[in-house]
Structure 1
Amino acid sequence: MTSRILFILEGKKPDNSYARLLQEKMAENVVIQQYHTDIYALYSELKKDEYFDTVSMIAERDASFEYDESDFSQIYLFFDLDAQHDGYEAEALDKFRELLAFFDNETDKGKLLISYPMVEAFDYFSPNFLPNTSENKLQVFLYQHGDEKFKTKVTRFRKKNQSAGNLSLKVDYFVLINFALLDEEDIFNQIIDGTTMLERQIQEVASKKRVYIVSGYAQFIVGYFGSKYFDDILKKYDYQKMIVDVKEAN
């Protein structure tokens, strides 16, 4: 039987292009399926019946999706914080806690990977954000909710930063962000998990209605390729001497 991985996306054009980029880099057969509603609707349906699986739910909604649960070894769900139009309110954030607890296993219901504030975070990148030999700073950015729309900000940013398309450096950057956002009491030298990341973001939302710009796709890459991949990136940038420089996105 062919081993397949299922990517479930929100159904937006940028999301699809990022997923296809990953699809080209992976040995396994990746099936990309768009889910044209927010993830909480999927969760609500699955929660009604503990024996109903994610793949069957997708197939029930889309007749062209001709797969069953046995066709996939892993399931990943890529969604945005902004998928909830009230994503910065306490009630919506509590929902994401539920979602991460429910979608916590790629070999069962699926593993949820959240982009903050949205999938376009993957394009808010410049090689200048990475630590270098002269100034060992990692630049980490915050997006202020209620500011200029994030999509607009990213579009304008990309016009000024044509080199933002370097996939390898981009992954390095978002992996380093995941590491940089670990609290001191967390185990040193590990990738931040989805729940810890959410709680870290909630601290910023509660105080200033803002979030760290973080890509769910980078979280997937590290989880997929494993801890050695993560460790190699940390060593490459001499993480023990790395200075984290946090600033507002402009």
Structure 2
Amino acid sequence: MSSNILFVFEGKRTEEKMVNSLGKYILKESPIIKCAYAGDIYQFYKKISIDEDLDTFNLVKERDSENLDRLKDYNRGDFAEIYFFFDYDGHSSLASKKDDDGNIIKPGDDKIAEILSFFDNETDKGKLYISYPMVEALRHIVDFKTFKELKVKCKGNYCPNKSKCKDIETCEKEPCYKDRVSKESIAHLCNINGYTHETWKNLIKAHLFKMNYIVNDTYEFPDGIESQLTIFTKQLDKYINKQCPKVCVLSAFPIFVYDYYGNEKTKCYVNRTIVSIETKSLLIREIIPSDINVLLSVYSQEENMKYISNGKYDWTIEELRKKYQKVNNSGYPQGYGIFAVVVDGEVIGEAGLFNSYEDDKVLELGYIINEKFWNKGYGTKICKALLDYGFNKLNLEKIVARMHPENIGSIRICEKLNFVKIDVTGAIYYQYEISGL
């Protein structure tokens, strides 16, 4: 079965920016296809309520010409999972208890409870995630220390208690939520394209703490998954169904990450140190999805690969992606793995420390760089940087380097850096080792 994932957003811009940024660092395992419904959750509900057997994939695909174009080569069977991301939007006219003619209809909150129950399986109709009050909640952090208590009014002109409100003039003059977020949020959170590993770690941690606080009254990392319906019910009981309806500010995206990866893996991510080794002339950092095509071009040149393992150079992008996942999914949380080598902003190859011996204190060093960067000293600089990192940051006892006997350049580097050659009976490669102080 296909491993594709379909993300359906309420809007066309902000949500896609957020997921594109998130995909640089976290959502790397499966291809994600993104499109927008371009309508709020109540419009979505209206379509579903007419026909519960409606094919949600085709509903999204046929929504507009842009979706038809994006999804023209796909059908429902091409997606293992479908996720919907919508705003609470309690201020929407369709969330009112009355229609345009003043007739009593089903309240918006009842509609949300119903639609959350309907969209609760990503492998069937799809799974729905809600941001409170809107997608901008992700970056609405004035101060991480006070985020726990951040709540906002959520009903606007459709507040059911409007006639009894003693502060109606102030409520009506409140700025729109998007403007408020822009004015109040920590400055660097406003630039979604500039989010880093560290930014996402902090945001995921803050919103998961907040989710746990909403559901369990405890502001700490949650112990288990909470359903979207449970979160909504708690918002309803504690904040929405009050004289002045409010919601506790909460983003859907960190909760999706938590649900998708589970407790232990998410906890490991938010608590781990991101590997980034910087010297005067180069940067060794964790691989991000946009590096893969560049690294594939390195792997696809026979000259680059002639001393590597069996010399294979007909790699596919899927083979390379799986190689990185196999090594890095277990390695990165421990501080080692395969990293990208960057010079003046350009990825020139890869380098890393690998657990080839099932011993976290003995790692193997290796690198592959594009031929046009050979004989410029980068091999030595890469090895020096990794030796320093391995012994001083990871507290390794020994680092091993294995190479083809004709790889004169790497042999010279090992000799220059005081590696000791080790005789390995029957080996078709040379092995060098160096121990920590």
Q: Distance in 1 between matches of 2:39 and 2:87?
A: 12
The reply on whether 1:129 has 2:144 as its aligned counterpart is: yes
In the alignment, is the contact (CA less than 8 A) between 1:175 and 1:230 conserved in 2? no
Distance 1:46 1:206, change over 3 A: closer
Counterpart for residue 60 of structure 1? 62
Superposed displacement of residue 88, structure 1: 6.7
In the alignment, is the contact (CA less than 8 A) between 1:116 and 1:215 conserved in 2? yes
Distance 1:45 1:89, change over 3 A: closer
Counterpart for residue 198 of structure 1? 232
Counterpart for residue 96 of structure 1? 112
Counterpart for residue 244 of structure 1? none
Q: Distance in 1 between matches of 2:128 and 2:116?
A: 6
Counterpart for residue 209 of structure 2? 176
In the alignment, is the contact (CA less than 8 A) between 1:172 and 1:233 conserved in 2? no
Superposition map of 1:42-61 within 5 A? 42-61=44-63
Please give the root-mean-square deviation of Cα atoms over the aligned residues, in Å. 2.7
Distance 1:93 1:163, change over 3 A: closer
> Which residue, 180, 188, 200 being the options, matches 1:162?
188
Distance 1:182 1:83, change over 3 A: closer
The AA in structure 2 aligned to 1:214 is L
Q: Distance in 2 between matches of 1:173 and 1:87?
A: 31
Superposed displacement of residue 196, structure 1: 1.3
The reply on whether 1:111 has 2:127 as its aligned counterpart is: yes
Q: Which range moves more in the overlay, 7-16 or 55-64?
A: 55-64
1:37 is paired with a residue whose SS is coil
Counterpart for residue 152 of structure 1? 179
In the alignment, is the contact (CA less than 8 A) between 2:42 and 2:95 conserved in 1? no
Unaligned runs of 5+ in 2: 98-106, 155-170, 273-437
The AA in structure 2 aligned to 1:75 is I
Q: Distance in 1 between matches of 2:63 and 2:89?
A: 23
Q: Distance in 2 between matches of 1:71 and 1:233?
A: 29
Q: Distance in 2 between matches of 1:87 and 1:192?
A: 27
Distance 1:163 1:112, change over 3 A: closer
Superposed displacement of residue 110, structure 1: 0.7
Q: Which has the higher helix share?
A: 1
Q: Which range moves more in the overlay, 194-203 or 103-112?
A: 194-203
Distance 1:168 1:210, change over 3 A: same
Distance 1:68 1:163, change over 3 A: closer
Q: Which range moves more in the overlay, 4-13 or 55-64?
A: 55-64
> Which residue, 9, 24, 32 being the options, matches 1:30?
32
Q: Distance in 1 between matches of 2:94 and 2:264?
A: 34
Q: Distance in 1 between matches of 2:256 and 2:204?
A: 10
In the alignment, is the contact (CA less than 8 A) between 1:178 and 1:191 conserved in 2? no
The reply on whether 1:214 has 2:250 as its aligned counterpart is: yes
Distance 1:88 1:200, change over 3 A: farther
Q: Distance in 1 between matches of 2:257 and 2:46?
A: 28
Distance 1:211 1:2, change over 3 A: same
Q: What CA deviation, in whole Å up to 9, does each residue of 1:112-152 have, x standing for no partner? A: 100000000001126x515xxxxxx8733111244332111
Superposed displacement of residue 232, structure 1: 4.7
The reply on whether 1:139 has 2:134 as its aligned counterpart is: no
The AA in structure 1 aligned to 2:234 is R
Superposed displacement of residue 178, structure 1: 1.1
Return the TM-score normalized by structure 1. 0.79
> Which residue, 176, 181, 189 being the options, matches 2:223?
189
Percent of residue pairs identical: 28
Q: What CA deviation, in whole Å up to 9, does each residue of 1:142-173 have, x standing for no partner? A: 11244332111110123x53367411111111
1:155 is paired with a residue whose SS is helix
Q: Distance in 2 between matches of 1:31 and 1:54?
A: 15
> Which residue, 76, 89, 114 being the options, matches 2:83?
76
Q: Distance in 2 between matches of 1:144 and 1:51?
A: 35
In the alignment, is the contact (CA less than 8 A) between 1:7 and 1:78 conserved in 2? yes
- In the alignment of these two chains, the number of paired residues is 225
Q: Distance in 2 between matches of 1:12 and 1:119?
A: 11
The reply on whether 1:8 has 2:24 as its aligned counterpart is: no
In the alignment, is the contact (CA less than 8 A) between 1:129 and 1:140 conserved in 2? no
Distance 1:153 1:49, change over 3 A: closer
Larger RCO (CA under 8 A, 6+ residues apart): 1
Q: What CA deviation, in whole Å up to 9, does each residue of 1:26-45 have, x standing for no partner? A: 22100001111223433443
Q: What CA deviation, in whole Å up to 9, does each residue of 1:23-80 have, x standing for no partner? A: 3332210000111122343344345445432112222334312121101001110000
In the alignment, is the contact (CA less than 8 A) between 1:38 and 1:84 conserved in 2? no
Q: Distance in 2 between matches of 1:199 and 1:167?
A: 27
Q: Distance in 1 between matches of 2:263 and 2:84?
A: 21
